[in-house]
Structure 1
Amino acid sequence: MPSPLTSAETTILGGLDLAIAADVFLQGVLCAQFAHYTNLNTRDCLWLKLFVTGLALLTTLKTIQILGVMWMQNVTLFEDLGAALSLWATHWVPKLTPILEALIAVYVQSFFCRRLWTISRNLYVVILCMIASTFALVSGIVAVFFTFTNISSPKYSTWMSIHLGAALCTDLLLTGSTAFYLLRHSKAALPRGPTAPILNSLLRVTIQSAAPAALCAFINFVAVVLLYKQTAISVSATIGGGSNTMLPQLYAWSAMWTLNSREDIHLAAENSRHTLHPELQGTSDSETSDYNNHDPTDHAVMTLRSGQDRLISPSAAQKFPQNSELVYAV
Structure 2
Amino acid sequence: MILSPADHERAAWLLGPWLLGGALGIFLQGILYCQFMRYAIHFKSDGLGIKIGVFVLFLTTTLKTMHSFILVWNIFIDYFADLEGAIALSYTSWWESASSLINATLDLYVQVFFVRRLFLISNRNWYVTAVVAFILAFSYAAMCVAIYYIIEGATAASIVAPWFAAHFSALVCGDIIMTAGITYFLLRTREDVLPHTVGHFTSLIRLTWLSAAPATLCAILNLISSQLWPGTDRLLSALFNTMLPKLYAMSMMWTLNARLELRAMSTGSSDVTSGRMIFDPPFDTSLQVILNALSSPGQFLTNFQHTHNSGRSLPARTSLESGHRVDAHELNDVCSDSAKSDKSGHVHVVDEEKA
TM-score band by shorter chain is 0.7 to 0.9
| Residue of structure 2 aligned with 1:50, choices 49, 52, 68 | 52
Deviation at 1:50, TM superposition (A): 1.3
Residue by residue over 1:160-214, the C-alpha shift from the partner in whole angstroms, topping out at 9 and shown as x without a partner, is 121122122222222211222222221599x99xxx99xx999853423522211
Residue by residue over 1:96-121, the C-alpha shift from the partner in whole angstroms, topping out at 9 and shown as x without a partner, is 21111111111101001111222122
Deviation at 1:281, TM superposition (A): 5.2
* Change in 2 beyond 3 A, CA 1:328/1:267: farther
1:304 matched to 2:339: yes
* Counterpart for residue 261 of structure 2: 264
- Show the 5 A alignment for 1:83-232: 83-121=85-123, 122-148=125-151, 149-187=153-191, 205-209=206-210, 210-228=212-230
* Change in 2 beyond 3 A, CA 1:147/1:266: farther
**Larger helix fraction of residues:** 1
The question of whether the paired residues in 2 share the 8 Å contact of 1:66 and 1:94 is answered with no
CA RMSD, aligned part only?
3.4
Give distance in 2, aligned partners of 1:328 and 1:128.
29
The question of whether the paired residues in 2 share the 8 Å contact of 1:8 and 1:234 is answered with no
* Change in 2 beyond 3 A, CA 1:159/1:247: same
Quote the sequence identity (%): 30
Give TM-score, length-normalised by structure 1: 0.76
Deviation at 1:302, TM superposition (A): 3.9
Letter of the 1:240 partner, please give it.
S
Q: Give the 3-state SS of the residue equivalent to 1:78 in structure 2.
A: coil
Give distance in 1, aligned partners of 2:24 and 2:154.
28
* Change in 2 beyond 3 A, CA 1:105/1:309: same
Residue by residue over 1:33-65, the C-alpha shift from the partner in whole angstroms, topping out at 9 and shown as x without a partner, is 222211111121122111111112221221122
1:254 matched to 2:251: yes
* Counterpart for residue 234 of structure 1: 233
Give distance in 2, aligned partners of 1:183 and 1:106.
25
Give distance in 2, aligned partners of 1:53 and 1:202.
29
Q: Give the 3-state SS of the residue equivalent to 2:80 in structure 1.
A: coil
Give distance in 2, aligned partners of 1:206 and 1:95.
35
Give distance in 1, aligned partners of 2:338 and 2:223.
45
The question of whether the paired residues in 1 share the 8 Å contact of 2:179 and 2:216 is answered with no
* Counterpart for residue 314 of structure 1: none
* Change in 2 beyond 3 A, CA 1:36/1:188: closer
* Counterpart for residue 10 of structure 2: 9
Give distance in 1, aligned partners of 2:315 and 2:208.
33
Give distance in 2, aligned partners of 1:45 and 1:152.
48
* Change in 2 beyond 3 A, CA 1:62/1:305: farther
* Change in 2 beyond 3 A, CA 1:306/1:138: farther
Letter of the 1:251 partner, please give it.
Y
Q: Give the 3-state SS of the residue equivalent to 2:336 in structure 1.
A: strand
Give distance in 2, aligned partners of 1:202 and 1:53.
29
How many residue pairs are counted as aligned between the two chains? 289
Give distance in 2, aligned partners of 1:138 and 1:81.
33
Letter of the 1:114 partner, please give it.
R
Give distance in 1, aligned partners of 2:354 and 2:226.
39
Give distance in 2, aligned partners of 1:3 and 1:24.
28
* Change in 2 beyond 3 A, CA 1:27/1:127: same
Give distance in 1, aligned partners of 2:228 and 2:192.
46
Give TM-score, length-normalised by structure 2: 0.71
The question of whether the paired residues in 1 share the 8 Å contact of 2:142 and 2:164 is answered with yes
* Change in 2 beyond 3 A, CA 1:254/1:301: closer
Residue by residue over 1:64-102, the C-alpha shift from the partner in whole angstroms, topping out at 9 and shown as x without a partner, is 221111111111111212211211112222112111111
* Counterpart for residue 320 of structure 1: none
* Change in 2 beyond 3 A, CA 1:305/1:99: farther
Mean alpha-carbon deviation: is it higher for 2-11 or for 114-123?
A: 2-11
1:81 matched to 2:83: yes
The question of whether the paired residues in 1 share the 8 Å contact of 2:138 and 2:170 is answered with yes
* Change in 2 beyond 3 A, CA 1:136/1:305: farther
Give distance in 1, aligned partners of 2:173 and 2:225.
16
Deviation at 1:154, TM superposition (A): 2.9
Letter of the 2:177 partner, please give it.
L
